[in-house]
Structure 1
């Protein structure tokens, strides 16, 4: 298949590109940011099956011309992933990129007969509902609160409505707390995972001091990318919305301890009373996402738990020493 990933040089986009290329597809990455040199070297063996196009996601004419060249699937991964500080500074930008910029892409997909569109939404769409239940499935009523959560929930409804009006084969996925290879904060992403922050502390030669254990249904990025790739390829998905998650919760503190155990001299621990830490949590505890729908329909479950992802991330960093 020929797949275009909007936001393709970002964190999730690069993980998805790796999986799709390994499965034999052609991938075009469309992003305002260039392909990082480290990723360019890592993906060089795929040759002409990988293309990177620099452009703004709001440039409707350029995007239409790109889609008109022919593609089988589009992944909507361009987003402003905003915490409170970025929401205060760029409220309109969050809604512009996460909702409005998708509409010309969806319309171009309809005009040019794109077979599948997958919208990368977020577990944040559940909003305050995440504190009221033990597990969140796709039928749980959403109660989004932040502008980011509102934008992701609205993007899902927009994608679904376009499909209803025009007959497009469009669906959305709710990604939960994703971490792993290629993650980096930036001007459109001010919510790095606790795992990234732990590794950044280690890179500075400091202990990773946690303000609290950081319990979440943490999901290793290659697992999330594999699930998205399955939905890109699926012949006839039975639903328009799928959760993607590890399926259970474990603390980031435990992950940091597992990573530190592989590297003598590193330390990850809870802060003592009154002790300062640079590591920052993003949002309150949220119930884990149910993955029953993905498991029952496609047989997919995450392969990497806490210890497995710590070992995999350690091996990845040996190959990409300059990343963090």
Structure 2
């Protein structure tokens, strides 16, 4: 397939690109930022199947031209992943980029008869429901609170409504807490995973001191990318919404300890009472996502657990340590 990934040079986009290229697809990355040099080198073996277009997500003319060249599928991955700071300082931009900027893309997809569109949403869409239920299925009533959660929930509904009005194969996925290679922070992403923050401390030669264990149904970026690829390749998905998660909860502390065990001299631990730590949690604890819809329909389950992901990211970090924080 010919796949265009909007927000393609971001953290999840780069992982998805690598997965799709390895599966034989042609990929175009559209983003305001350039592809990181290290990522470009990593994908160099697929140079003939990879294109990068630099542009703003609000540039409807350029976006229309990219889609008009011909593509079979689109991934909507451009977003402001906002914590409280960005909520206060970029409220309008969150809604503009995460919801309204999708409209011209969806219209172009309809006009050019794009086979499938997948909107990368977030478990944040469940909002306060995450504290009221023990397991979050796709049919669990949502209660989004933050502007980021509201924007993601609205994006799902917008994509679904376009699909209904024009009878198109458009769907959304709710990603759980993603971490892995190529993660970085920036002006549109101020909620780095605990794993990223742990590695940042390790890279500075400091112990990783966590304020809390950080228990979540974390999902490794390679697994998230594989799940999206499965949905892109599926003949006809039966639903318009899918949860993507490891399906198993474990703590960032446990992960950090497993990672540190592979590198003598590194330490990951909880802060002692009154001890300060630069590592920050983002958002309250929530129930894990149910992955039964993906498992039953496609036989998909995450391959990486706590120890496996620590070992895999250790290999990547060892190779890209100097570039991992830029």
Aligned to 1:172, what secondary structure does the other structure show? Answer: strand
Give distance in 2, aligned partners of 1:278 and 1:321: 20
Corresponding residue for residue 100 of structure 2: 100
Aligned to 1:173, what secondary structure does the other structure show? Answer: strand
Give distance in 1, aligned partners of 2:216 and 2:47: 38
Give distance in 1, aligned partners of 2:248 and 2:266: 27
Aligned to 1:20, what secondary structure does the other structure show? Answer: helix
Give distance in 2, aligned partners of 1:271 and 1:319: 29
* Aligned 8 A contact 2:203 2:321 in 1: no
How big is each residue's C-alpha offset from its partner over 1:6-40, in whole Å with a ceiling of 9 and x where there is no partner? Answer: 00000000000000000000000000000110011
How big is each residue's C-alpha offset from its partner over 1:166-200, in whole Å with a ceiling of 9 and x where there is no partner? Answer: 11110000001000001001100000000000000
Tell me the TM-score normalised to structure 2 length.
0.99
Shift of 1:248: 1.5
Where does structure 2 lack aligned partners over 5 or more consecutive residues? none
Corresponding residue for residue 295 of structure 1: 295
1:29 aligns with 2:7: no
The 4+ residue runs of structure 1 with deviation greater than 3 A are none
Give distance in 2, aligned partners of 1:320 and 1:24: 25
How many residues are treated as equivalent by the alignment?
324
1:66 aligns with 2:66: yes
Corresponding residue for residue 38 of structure 1: 38
Give distance in 2, aligned partners of 1:102 and 1:152: 11
Aligned to 2:238, what secondary structure does the other structure show? Answer: coil
Give distance in 2, aligned partners of 1:224 and 1:147: 24
Tell me the TM-score normalised to structure 1 length.
0.99
How big is each residue's C-alpha offset from its partner over 1:73-95, in whole Å with a ceiling of 9 and x where there is no partner? Answer: 00000000000001101000000
Give distance in 2, aligned partners of 1:227 and 1:186: 26
Give distance in 2, aligned partners of 1:177 and 1:65: 33
Corresponding residue for residue 265 of structure 2: 265
Aligned to 1:238, what secondary structure does the other structure show? Answer: coil
Shift of 1:319: 2.2
Corresponding residue for residue 254 of structure 2: 254
> What pairs up with 1:279-294 in 2 under 5 angstroms?
279-294=279-294
Corresponding residue for residue 141 of structure 1: 141
Give distance in 2, aligned partners of 1:71 and 1:252: 39
How big is each residue's C-alpha offset from its partner over 1:44-91, in whole Å with a ceiling of 9 and x where there is no partner? Answer: 010220000000000011101110000000000000000000110100
Aligned to 1:182, what secondary structure does the other structure show? Answer: coil
Give distance in 2, aligned partners of 1:228 and 1:265: 37
Give distance in 2, aligned partners of 1:247 and 1:130: 15
> What pairs up with 1:1-324 in 2 under 5 angstroms?
1-322=1-322, 323-324=324-325
Give distance in 1, aligned partners of 2:64 and 2:57: 11
Where does structure 1 lack aligned partners over 5 or more consecutive residues? none
Instruction: Provide the aligned C-alpha RMSD in A.
Output: 0.5
